[in-house]
Structures are given as C-alpha cells and as structure tokens.
C-alpha cells in the first residue's frame, strides 16, 4: 500500500504542475511582519520561506509582486473586490501567499488551500494599562523569593551573632560566675525583630562589639524597609490606575481605553456579522468612533502610544508582544480560523498546494518556520514591575556580613585582652585562660584561680 500511495501522491503533484503549465507563477503578497518584510531589494519572512519550501516540493518557479493597494481583500457595495483577492479575480496573479484568513465570502470568490496556520481574534494593549486580580498574599510579591530568603538568613545570622558577642565579650558579661547574661538566644531573636520594626527591645548592648553589630543591623533594616515601602507605594499607585481587562466583554464595558481593528479586514467583518451582543457592541463603537487602523503596524503604534487596544489575529499580536516588551495580549481568543493560500476559482494548484502544506506540517517544517519568525526578544513578561531581587541590594547584604564579622572579631579581641591580663597576673598561658573563659561562658565551667588551687 505504501508504494501505491506514493505513486498516487506523485501523480497528484505532477498533474498540478502539468495543469499549471510551464509558465512561471505570479505570486501576490502583502508587506507585513513577519510574513513578508523588505531586506534590501528582496523579500524575506514566513510566507517567503513557505513559498520557497512549497516550490521545492512541488517543483514550480515563481515571481513575487506586492499587492498594489496594500489590502488583503474585501468586497465593496458594488460587489468589487480589493486587495489580493481582487488581483486573483482579475487574473493579475496566480496565487496569493499571505496571512489570508479563510472566510465564507472569500471562499465564494476564490479557492483557498488547507490552512498553514491557525489563529483567532484577540487584542493587545500596554501592560501598564492592565492590572492583575488582587491576591491575598500579593504584598509578599514585592520581594522575590531569593530576597525573602536572604532577609531571613540575615535575620538569623544577626541574632546568633548578637547572642555570641554577648557571651564572648567581657564588656557585656563581665562576671559569668556571678551574673546572669541578659542576652539569651530568645532575647537576641526578639531584639533583632524589634530593631527590624524600628521598635526598641532593651536591654541594649553595652560593649563596642555588640554596638557595632546592632548599628549595622539598624542600617540594614532602614535600607530594607525603605526599599519595601518604595515598592509598596509603586504597587499601590499602579493598582489605582490600572484596569482589569481580560476579555472582549471587559473591553466593551469600559470607556477609558479606545479600541479598533484594521479597516475592511476579516476581523472587522467578524464583529460586523456576529450575532453576539458583545461583538455587535464592539463593532458599533468602532464604526461610530472610526477607531480603525489602516494596517497592523499602525495598530501596533497606537497601542504603544497609550490608551488604545488593537484587535487583530492572535498570531500577529503574539509577534507584536515578542517585539515590543511593554505590550501584552489578552488571554481570550475568539473566532478561530486559519490562514490559507488563495488562487482563482477552479485553479488546479489548490489541491497540490494543500497536499504540500500538509506534508510540511507533518515533517515539522511549519513549526520550525514559526519558531524562527516568532522568536521573542523580551526577557520580562510581567506587566508589573519585577519584584525586588537580592542582587539589587547585594551591597547592603555584604555590608551586614562585614559588620557581623567585625563585631565577632572585636568581641574575641576584648576577651583575648582580658585573658591576657588574667594570664599575666596568674602567670598562666594566655591560651589556657582563654579556653577556660570560653568554656565557662558557653558550657558553665569554672575558672579556677591559682590561689584557690593552692588553698585546696
């Protein structure tokens, strides 16, 4: 069966080529990114690559010409077709290779192949015009996850360092055998929280080492809180000025943002002929306000400028979002349809072109072309300002780490100075006295003097 199918497939292709004759096909297209764009004196784009792949598969030659009136094709009141559809009907072109939407009226005027791309209607607008639905924990999104982890680690390390310094420094705990240390581990954690919230939680450190650590932590807390409240202010300000527009119904029920689509396009015809009340409301508004665009590029420019939502084919809008990072596409897609190649009624080319398109789809070549021409240049996809990351405040984190290290070093130097003085008076080695001091301060050991040993 496989050889028979291959023979039949080849026969179909050969029949189409024979029917087309030896002449070179005249191909009409329209300048629209990324389907056909100018590169010097030549054209490139998705449709140009698609045409090249089909010509290799079906073995035909072609010449490309741009449509004279820069239109896709619509029928006027006199029944005359404009754009590429009109050129096919008048015999000025053999095929039209462009993002031509399959509609009932066009199917009656020309023959159309199997779709080479599926699309639908949606709209784009500036990201700063949209707001996300408020969530219970939205406040925590002001900082990124790594930022919150960094703050938690900084809090724990600072609390532990205050606890260690309070035990090591003789200025904080002069007589461990007689005095109770006020800076327990729980109090150290509480003291650090109090400083973070700009509230006092005495007693305060008395020694230089403890004061260095607390002063650095206070400065860290001020910078951290200032950054948080700055992000909070920006977030609240943007929330008050943004709208929640996620569907065509939301778009139709507001009057702050203007909207429109390409004049005399299939998108406009969809809303004009729809029986959906929301869609009819959208068409009536566009018709009354005359908020149309002559082409997609003009619609993109209007959307970039401000209060304008451009309605168009979702695949074209996805390209605009990939190129212009401050635009976003609404999640709703309506009126699913396809892009096809068109030819005059009765053309023998359509059958072969459809088979060629299906073959390219099955081999993955259409997916490759889509990924090639729809590659995004944007890094950030979120309409809101990005959460503050730890890398943005790495300087203050480094400053805190240096302060903690300096505080511990000063505490050890204070204890070493006392141990050296005791060792000199008791004629012992400084290391043994220092070891005994640390043992007593952390394990409750006794420091036995030379006099006590002699009395024993």
CA distances from 251 to 205, 245, 247, 258 (A): 60, 6, 6, 9
| Residue 101 annotated as lining a ligand binding site | yes
d(CA 168, CA 411): 6
> Binding residue per annotation — 266?
yes
Residue of 170, 37, 47, 58 whose CA lies nearest to 100:
47
**Pairing assessment for the beta strands 334-344 and 95-101 based on DSSP bridges:** antiparallel
H/E run at residue 310? strand 308-313
How distant is the alpha carbon of residue 352 from its chain centre? Answer: 41
Alpha helices in 262-393 (DSSP H): 266-273, 277-289, 296-305, 314-323, 349-362, 365-373
| 59 assigned to a ligand binding site | no
Is 359 marked within a binding site? no
Alpha helices in 145-276 (DSSP H): 145-168, 185-196, 208-241, 248-252, 266-273
Start-to-end C-alpha separation, the chain: 110
Query: Which 3 state secondary structure label does DSSP give 409?
Result: helix
**Nearest CA to 119 among 357, 257, 311?**
311
For residue 95 the two structure tokens come to 């095929």
Instruction: Please give the Cα distance from 422 to 447 (Å, whole number).
Output: 11
CB-count exposure of residue 367 (10 Å: 0-12, 13-18, 19+): exposed
Residues contributing to the annotated binding site: 99, 101, 106, 266-267, 313
Residues contributing to the annotated binding site for L-glutamate: 99, 101, 106, 266-267, 313
């Amino acid at each position: 069966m496989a050889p028979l199918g291959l023979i039949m497939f080849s026969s179909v292709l050969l029949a189409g080529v024979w029917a087309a004759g030896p002449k070179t096909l005249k191909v009409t297209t329209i300048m629209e990114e990324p389907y056909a764009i100018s590169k010097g004196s030549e054209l490139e784009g998705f449709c140009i690559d698609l045409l090249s792949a089909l010509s290799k598969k079906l073995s035909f030659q072609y010449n490309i010409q741009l449509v004279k009136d820069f239109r896709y094709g619509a029928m006027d009141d006199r029944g005359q077709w404009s754009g590429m559809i009109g050129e096919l009907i008048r015999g000025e072109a053999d095929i039209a290779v462009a993002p031509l939407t399959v509609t009932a009226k066009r199917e009656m005027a020309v023959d159309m192949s199997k779709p080479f791309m599926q699309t639908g209607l949606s709209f784009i607008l500036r990201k700063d015009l949209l707001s996300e639905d408020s969530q219970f924990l939205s406040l925590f999104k002001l900082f990124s996850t790594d930022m919150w982890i960094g703050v938690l680690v900084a809090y724990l390390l600072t609390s532990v360092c205050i606890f260690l310094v309070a035990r090591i420094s003789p200025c904080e705990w002069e007589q461990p055998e007689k005095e109770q240390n006020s800076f327990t581990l729980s109090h150290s954690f509480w003291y650090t929280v109090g400083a973070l919230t700009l509230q006092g939680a005495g007693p305060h450190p008395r020694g230089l080492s403890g004061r260095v650590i607390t002063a650095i932590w206070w400065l860290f807390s001020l910078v951290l809180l200032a950054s948080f409240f700055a992000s909070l202010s920006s977030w609240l300000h943007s929330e008050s000025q943004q709208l929640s527009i996620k569907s065509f119904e939301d778009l139709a029920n507001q009057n702050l943002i203007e909207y429109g689509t390409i004049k005399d396009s299939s998108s406009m015809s969809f809303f004009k002929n729809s029986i959906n009340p929301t869609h009819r409301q959208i068409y009536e508004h566009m018709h009354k306000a005359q908020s149309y665009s002559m082409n997609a590029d003009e619609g993109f420019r209007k959307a970039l400028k401000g209060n304008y939502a451009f309605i168009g084919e979702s695949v074209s809008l996805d390209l605009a979002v990939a190129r212009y990072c401050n635009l976003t596409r609404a999640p709703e897609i309506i009126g699913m349809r396809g892009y096809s190649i068109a030819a005059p009624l009765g053309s023998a080319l359509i059958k072969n072109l459809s088979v060629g398109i299906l073959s390219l789809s099955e081999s993955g070549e259409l997916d490759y072309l889509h990924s090639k021409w729809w590659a995004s240049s944007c890094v950030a996809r979120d309409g809101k300002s990005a959460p503050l990351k730890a890398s943005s405040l790495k300087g203050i984190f480094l400053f805190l780490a240096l302060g903690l290290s300096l505080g511990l070093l000063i505490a050890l130097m204070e204890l070493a100075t006392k141990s050296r003085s005791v060792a000199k008076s008791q004629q012992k080695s400084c290391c043994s006295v220092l070891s005994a001091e640390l043992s007593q301060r952390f394990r409750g050991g006794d420091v036995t003097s030379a006099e006590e040993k002699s009395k024993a």
